[in-house]
Amino acid sequence: MTTALITGANKGIGYEIARLLGQEGVTVLVGARDTARGEAAAERLGARFVQIDVTSPESVVAAAKQIGDEYGALDILVNNAGVALGAEPPSGTTVEVTRAVYETNVFGVIEVTNAMLPLLRRAPAARIVNVSSEVGSLTAAGDPDNSFYALNMMAYQSSKAALNMITVCYAKEFRETPIKINACDPGYCATDMNDHQGPRSAEEGARTAVRLSLLGADGPTGAFVGGEGSLPW
Ligand SMILES: NC(=O)c1ccc[n+]([C@@H]2O[C@H](COP(=O)([O-])OP(=O)(O)OC[C@H]3O[C@@H](n4cnc5c(N)ncnc54)[C@H](OP(=O)(O)O)[C@@H]3O)[C@@H](O)[C@H]2O)c1
């Protein structure tokens, strides 16, 4: 049995990652902070619900215990839960807003990853996928010819840049093990996060994360990957 926990899987890209992994025969654990929304999504998917608020250490520890008690190990962790706050220019972006974004997009990923690692180590070849964004690419943000050059959402973009570095750091620690840790960019997808303005569907956005979740032994680790392949940091 291959098990996968996807955080923020009650809707949007996370829900589609859960659905597509389920189609691949993976035993899907639908992570969601809200019990009613999580149970409803899990029921639609024919999957298990796991309560997990990535900003709550107690909730994360309880989720790890639940998974450990029921499954003993975890093969795939998809750190998908994310928030996008703070559209003001940097001079108007408060520390409070920035902190709120980092709590979920950065600290939440570390909290969940470290809590799940004992279970991931027990799997034969675990995969960790961090759902990042190309808007976190320093290369893209600094290139006047890049379509993301005009975007300047400091809190969100810097949180994803931090997530990219976090991906590299974990990958280095585990490079001599079968565990692979990669970051993905779903592309601009129509979800609640952007009032459904993105041109791609959440399903399309989910595909790269699914591919990285199911990577073979010859796949990369410490990579940043989009729908068209490798992306610049
Ligand atoms: N949409 C895009 O174009 C796009 C592009 C690049 C990257 N991404 C990334 O893709 C990921 C998914 O985004 P999305 O577009 O699918 O957004 P979404 O529809 O707003 O979904 C976000 C999910 O994260 C959950 N979440 C937020 N805070 C959480 C917390 N503290 N604990 C647990 N779950 C939490 C939400 O739960 P609730 O329902 O309870 O709020 C929801 O399930 C995010 O990391 C986002 O940054 C999105």
> Cα–Cα distance between 30 and 103 in angstroms, integer?
20
pLDDT of residue 57: 98
> Cα–Cα distance between 118 and 81 in angstroms, integer?
21
CA gyration radius, the chain: 17
Q: What is the mean pLDDT of residues 204-227?
A: 98
pLDDT in tens, 103-134: 999 999 999 999 999 999 999 999 999 999 99
pLDDT of residue 65: 98
Q: Give distance in angstroms: CA of 225 to centre of ligand 1.
A: 18
Q: Give distance in angstroms: CA of 176 to centre of ligand 1.
A: 31
Per-residue DSSP letters for 61-99?
HHHHHHHHHHHS--SEEEE--------S-GGG--HHHHH
> Cα–Cα distance between 123 and 73 in angstroms, integer?
6
Mean pLDDT (the chain) is 98
The CATH code of domain 3-230 reads 3.40.50.720
* 3-state SS assignment for residue 5: strand
Predicted TM-score (pTM) of the model is: 0.99
> Cα–Cα distance between 16 and 209 in angstroms, integer?
10
Residue where the block lists tokens 């750190």: 79
| Mutational pocket test of ligand 1: of 5, 6, 7, 11, the residue with most ligand atoms within 8 Å of the beta carbon | 11
Q: Please, what is the angle between helix 202-213 and helix 12-23, to 10°? A: 50
Alpha-carbon torsion (124, 122, 77, 133), positive or negative: negative
* 3-state SS assignment for residue 124: coil
